Amino acid sequence: MGGSGHTVAGVIAHPVAARHHVGTAVLRPPEGLGPLAAERDRWVLWMPVAFGAGIAGYFALPVEPPLWAALAALALAVAAALALRRRPAIAVPLLGLALLAAGVGAGTLGTALTATPLWDERPHRGMLEGVVVGVDRQPRGARVTLDDVAFSGRRGDLPAPRLVRVRLLPSDPAPQIGSRIAVFGELSGPRRPVAPGAFDFRRWAYFQGLSATGFAMGHAEIVAAPGAGGFWRSIDAVRADMVARIERALDPPAAGFAAALLTGQRGGVDDATYEVLRDAGLAHLLAISGLHVGLVAGGVFVLVRLLGSLFERLAVTRPIKKWAAVAALVSAVGYMLLVGAPVPTQRAVLMTGLVLLAVLADREALSMRLVAWAALVVLVLAPHAVVSASFQMSFAAVVGLVAAYEWLAPTMGRWRRRGGPVRAIAIYLAGVLMSTAVAGLATAPFSVFHFQTVATAGALANLLAVPLTAFWIMPFGMLAYLAMPLGLEAGPLYMMGLGVSALVWIAGEAAQLAGGSARMLPPPVWGLALVALGGLWLCLWRRRWRLLGLVAVAAGLGSATVERPPDLLVGDTAELAALIEGEPRRLVLTSLNRERFAAAAWADRFAAVSTVALRDLPASRQGCDALGCIVHHAGTTLALVADPRALDEDCAAADLVVAEVPVRRPCAATVIDRFDVWRNGAHAVWLGEGAPVIETVAGRTGQRPWALTR
């Protein structure tokens, strides 16, 4: 495309310049595009959308596509767009197809470059030795990530691991990054999803580089101390020292919360506190993301500008604003490194950095175009992020907030100029409430899809908690940062702890007032896609036709009522099965003591409010003995077989047989046995008239590099 600055791509990237190039036909007002032509300056915002849709399409495929196919489609689409550049009504959609193909290629290439060797789910015990490259300090024992791993329990059919993550005994101190430890423990590969369409642990581990996870069965020993120096080792030492100082200055739960905000170590937040924060819609305050990075960078920016304004000559003759932007950028990067540089924080720093670079370049600091370029950069660097909850929710919130800002900023600016301090405070509170409402509405569908919950008290709690965090907790946290080198952090930490205690109280009261979080059935993937497309249509365009996006959003939100949940779930060992029944829904489990993780995950995914044992059902619905159970559910006779001696009778009496044992004999009923779940993972079954409809994890996952195929 060299020398083609006036091609269709050039028009999209530089719409203003394009209007003045009357000599090129493609730069005339486009014909055949309808209302799209009036919003040429917004076309560029759809570049990351098309690119991300291509990546999402790649992850939805049942098999791994060849890279050459995506590259060929990209080349053909670009060539066709250039050939038809005088017909924008055709050329512009072709460029969209090119971006879709580029997204598929990016996903394919990203997966190939990752190439994490995943183990299967079999447990393996042996002596484990490796170099510590990550530490997560938790009360139940530090979780350490090891590289350069040697494991005596690895069988010959298992590949050499890349990284492994192990939980140490609670009595063992957390080792330093860079040290080499040895410990006897158990390792296994990441498990398959607990149900078709549920969270894919194996895919997550694949892109994290984790071949296996496990736990220590003995005390860890330091084989080799960290070498002298080392950047990450120094950062980890500073982080560990800060956590120790915070725990000396504050009592739980304030200590854990403060440590999470200042160091990124969330292990000190107990389960009860986290549950309260989640039910109140405040759990996002624990995740170091845009809010925290923005507060740190914004605080430094304002402080440097205020200090510079105290000196009149300096303020007049020097670019104080740009100096403040540089200081804010440095502080944001330093904060990211200190909290361990998790992926959401990296994205927040990228966004903040682009805002500050815009300040340095004397450009508009916050715009939808900035968000679009940030999203595009993130997707190019980490294509797999498009299917993660953090990416989807963070960018949904940002896009919604920027769109609301574009719409309301002129009106709020006029109100602010016409009033005094009372009106300014009222406008600020209204802004916080509006921001909370917009962010909550924008992220709610994604929260339901990934977590099956919506915080009913979110708006009220955030109205109080966000200002408290912004004007009390984080400022005293920054003072604690500055005071720690001098050993004077006790005072700022005490004040920070008061704010944290108030925040936890607010969370408790708000959650109790609203009755906690609401559990909902997740929409199907196509429903979430409709919500995302409709929301983007609403936010990215400016003319009234943007309101058509509400139709797609409404259709997507209603999709959860179209697809009914399965009637039966069978775990991937066949030792646990569950019936889903009633309204509100409940799980009827074959055992309350087996596969508790899967049972809890099923209850969350299908919004079950209670669980009950199968044997507690009325005798008219079930008959159980030592060999198994016969159950009547949804017009189907279901046999749950625990002993092969029951097979002859159950095959004759039942419509569906679920057997913990292999079924090697002919059976008149539909059969799901131990071999079926071993090969294909957990099963979901819909019962009713006709034969049962069965979906499996393997069928949903397909033949992908992270899938466990047998």
pLDDT band at 416 (very low <50, low <70, confident <90, very high): low
Query: Nearest Cα to 351, choosing from 338, 367, 335, 363?
Result: 367
260: amino acid identity, one letter: A
Residue range 132-169, pLDDT digits in tens: 988 887 778 889 999 999 999 888 788 999 999 999 99
**How many CB atoms within 10 Å of residue 622?**
19
Question: 649-654 long-range contacts, Cβ below 8 Å, gap at least 24?
Answer: 654/630
Q: Encoding tokens for residue 586? A: 């409940």
Cβ-based neighbours of 76, under 8 Å, separated by 6 or more: none
Alpha-carbon torsion (505, 511, 514, 515), positive or negative:
negative
Residue type, position 257, single letter: F
With bands split at pLDDT 50, 70 and 90, how would you rate the model's confidence at 556? very high
Is 172 or 584 the better-scoring residue by pLDDT? 172
The DSSP-derived string for 31-83 is SS-GGGGGGGGGGGGGHHHHHHHHHHHHHH-SBPPPHHHHHHHHHHHHHHHHH
Q: What are the structure tokens assigned to 464, written together?
A: 């109080």
Point out which residues pair with 587 in neighbouring strands. 580, 611
DSSP state of 703: B
| Region of poorest pLDDT, from 106-115, 235-244, 323-332, 413-422 | 413-422
| Residue predicted with more confidence, 539 or 316 | 539
Arithmetic mean of pLDDT, 382-387: 92
Range from 20-34, 94-108, 119-133 carrying the lowest mean pLDDT: 20-34
Please report how many Cα atoms fall inside a 13 Å half-sphere around the Cα of residue 704, on the Cβ side.
23
Tell me: pLDDT of 280 over 90: no
pLDDT number for residue 10: 40
Higher pLDDT, residue 334 or 453: 334
Residue 694: per-residue pLDDT: 93
3 state SS of 149: strand
- pLDDT confidence of residue 16: 40
Q: Is-contact 657 641, C-beta < 8 A?
A: yes
Residue 3 has pLDDT above 50, yes or no: no
Residue 17 confidence (pLDDT) above 60: no
Report the run of H or E that residue 214 belongs to, with start and end. Answer: strand 210-216
Residue among 41, 38, 10, 39 at smallest CA distance from 26? 10
Q: How far is residue 536 from each of residues 65, 266, 378, 515, 553, measured CA to CA in Å?
A: 28, 33, 18, 32, 10
CA dist., res. 331 & res. 298, Å (int): 10
Lowest mean pLDDT among 73-82, 162-171, 241-250, 613-622: 613-622
124-228: CATH architecture:
Beta Barrel (2.40)
How many Cα atoms occupy the beta-carbon half-sphere of 18 within 13 Å?
A: 22
CA 130 – CA 210 distance, rounded (Å): 13
Q: In the prediction, which pLDDT does 19 show?
A: 39
Cα(70)–Cα(100) distance, integer angstroms: 9
More confident position, 215 or 594: 215
pLDDT of residue 708: 85
Cβ neighbors of 338 (< 8 A, separation 6 or more) are: 235, 238, 239, 262, 263, 264
Least confident of 92-106, 289-303, 685-699: 289-303
Check: CB of residue 601 under 8 Å from CB of residue 198. Answer: yes
Among 443, 431, 503, 440, CA closest to 474:
503
- What tokens appear for 320 in the block? 């104080």
Residue 209 clears pLDDT 90, i.e. is over it: yes
Work out the pLDDT band at 31, boundaries 50, 70, 90: low
Q: Between 112 and 247, where is the model more confident? A: 112
What does the alpha-carbon distance between residue 642 and residue 627 come to, in Å, rounded to a whole number? 5
User: Is a pLDDT exceeding 70 seen at residue 15?
Assistant: no
Q: Give pLDDT, residue 1.
A: 39
CB 3 within 8 A of CB 52: no
Q: State residue 142's pLDDT score.
A: 87
Q: What angle do CA 474, 475, 476 make, to 5 degrees?
A: 90
pLDDT value at 432 more than 80:
no
What is the percentage of the chain residues whose pLDDT exceeds 90? 36
pLDDT per residue as tens digits for the range 507-516: 888 877 756 6
pLDDT, residue 691, reads 84
8 Å CB contact between 480 and 499: no
The answer to whether residues 633 and 577 touch, using CB atoms and an 8 Å cutoff, is no
Q: What is the percent of the chain with per-residue pLDDT over 70, rounded to a whole number?
A: 90
Q: Read off the pLDDT of each residue in 611-626 and give the average, rounded to a whole number.
A: 83
Asked if pLDDT for residue 8 goes beyond 70, the answer is no
Nearest to 536 by CA among 368, 679, 303, 306: 368
> Distance (Å, rounded) from C-alpha 459 to C-alpha 690?
47
Mean pLDDT of 611-635: 84
Confidence of residue 5 (pLDDT cuts 50, 70, 90): very low
Please compute the mean of the pLDDT values over residues 523-527 and round it to a whole number: 93
**Is residue 323 within 8 Å of 331, Cβ to Cβ?**
no
Query: ∠ at Cα 146 (144, 151), nearest 5°?
Result: 120
